[in-house]
Chains A and B, each alone.
Chain A
Amino acid sequence: MTTLPTLIDSPSAGPVPADQAGPVRRVLSLVERNFMIYRRSLTPVVFGLVEPVLYLLTIGYGVGSLVGSVPGVDTRYAAYVAPAILATTAMNTAVSHTIFGVFTRVKKDHTYEAIVPTPLSVTDIAYAEVTSAVINALITSVGFLAALAALGLVVSPGVLLAVPASVLVGVAFGAAGLAATTYLRDFADLQLVQLVMLPMFLFATTFYPLTVYPRPLQPFIEVLPLYQSIELIREPALGRFPATVPVAAGYLIVFSWLALRIAIRRMGPMLAR
């Protein structure tokens, strides 16, 4: 690839002196940097889609033939799991950007060491990384939505709400991932991340409804951010709009705000180390 389309003027080369560039411009300069690196290959996006599509095919159809139908849902099992896999994919994409990506940039590539002396503040860096995570989550979600439509699993036009919803899910998990990164000590700690993500994926009603759990256990599932993300995407996708949908959106907004605050507060000391 020889020419890279420039999304915005980079602060140093642009007409505006770097230290006078607005915060949005400063944040976008780092976002642009992240995507210039990705542009070399499309493979991260393609890779990101292989796993969810595999889950959809094998669990949705294969296991679906064993399940029959989900109590209270009059649609095919594959159509029931697909929106949940979409939510999980948005989560995984965002988290992998702000945990694996950011941690590599801190520990291995030392990218921020070169950024800290520029007019970009730590807050700018945090916003930029979360923005990049959201863009990635959005791209994979749209890709997955296309796969879902191609397989004929669209039940209701409400599924289109998954696009704005995946932005919200991306912000929530991008910010939470960034906050988590500030607690990591070394690469071995990334295993602990898996130890949180995998159970959440398996237990947050991705593959079966909340009613499968005994009553006393249900609140523990409902507080999971992935459960709320799935609720936000699955219900409209199945053509239903219960009050839990706006509640889920509210939950994710509060969750994002809290996670972002923690991330910004802790990133300064992390980058100063």
Chain B
Amino acid sequence: MVHTFEYWLLRYRRTWRATVVISVANPLLFLVGFGAGLGRLVDQHAPAQLSGTTYAAFFAPGLLCAAAMQTAFLESSGPVTYAAIDGSYRDATPTPLEPPQIMAGHQMFVIFRVLTSSAAFVVVMTAFGLTSPRAAPAVLGGAVLTGMAFAAPVAAWAVGVRRTARLTTVFRMIVMPMYMFSGAFFALAKLPTAVRIVAETLPLAQAVILCRDLSLETVSAADAARAGYLFALTAVGLLWARRAYTGRLHA
């Protein structure tokens, strides 16, 4: 398992520069563009929805969480599918490594990616005073938990994908809409009831509220349930991924 992790880490030494753009620069640009720019318009208006915080402080933790999901999806989909079609998974199957170990090692790497890029974002958030240094570690924890809740089920699905065009379709048709309707940009309460209920059921919407409560230090009992929801998704995802990897790589 550790060997698999090391393999992905070694590969990453060659490619990390390109990923910095999407995992670090991308959310930071959104933070400045929306948090600072749009924030000026929103804060003049001082809507009750934000319950006293600035738009930037409202938006930042949600964005962090949505970006963690996006990084988890990107790292757990394409690389997994390609590795299972004719990449490193194929090379690893004749070795003593078992499919569940290949899966766990790769998942460790995905979590490493989510952890490092989220940490960079949390440092910036704290530097701009969008969260307190005291709350920052918990916020990072929330982001990593969000990443885990998506990484495992996505890997379980991606390992069985044979037509790589489907990855792009799912990203554009499912991941992007979920990102936009996650409640990171605005409170979901503003949506029409039917849309709101659907959006709120999605794990990302719950994760966004959890991260925001952790960041603004307004944690309630409901947040424990949200964390439980994300842990449950991680556990189910890992069990499903074990089965899916074994089925695909031993076939």
Contacts and interface: CB of A to CB of B under 8 A. Distances in A.
Interface in A66-114: 66-68, 70-71
Chain B contact residues, majority secondary structure: helix
A118 interface: no
B37 A212 contact: yes
Interface in B114-159: none
Given A51-B176, A66-B45, A67-B45, 4 more contacts: A54-B176, A54-B177, A58-B181, A202-B29
10 contacts: A58-B185, A61-B190, A66-B42, A188-B15, A194-B21, A198-B26, A203-B33, A207-B38, A208-B41, A213-B37
Interface of A: 47, 50-51, 54-55, 57-59, 61-63, 65-68, 70-71, 188, 191-192, 194-195, 198-199, 202-203, 207-208, 212-213
Interface in B2-61: 15, 17-18, 21-22, 25-26, 29-30, 32-34, 37-38, 40-42, 45, 47, 49-50, 55
Contacts of A199: 29, 33
Contact of A188 (B17, B32, B47, B190): B17
A259 B147 CA distance: 42
B191 interface: yes
Contact of B172 (A47, A58, A207): A47
B186 interface: yes
Interface residues on B, range: 20 to 34
Contact of A59 (B45, B49, B177, B185): B185
A198 B21 CA distance: 10
A49 B50 CA distance: 31
A198 B37 CA distance: 15
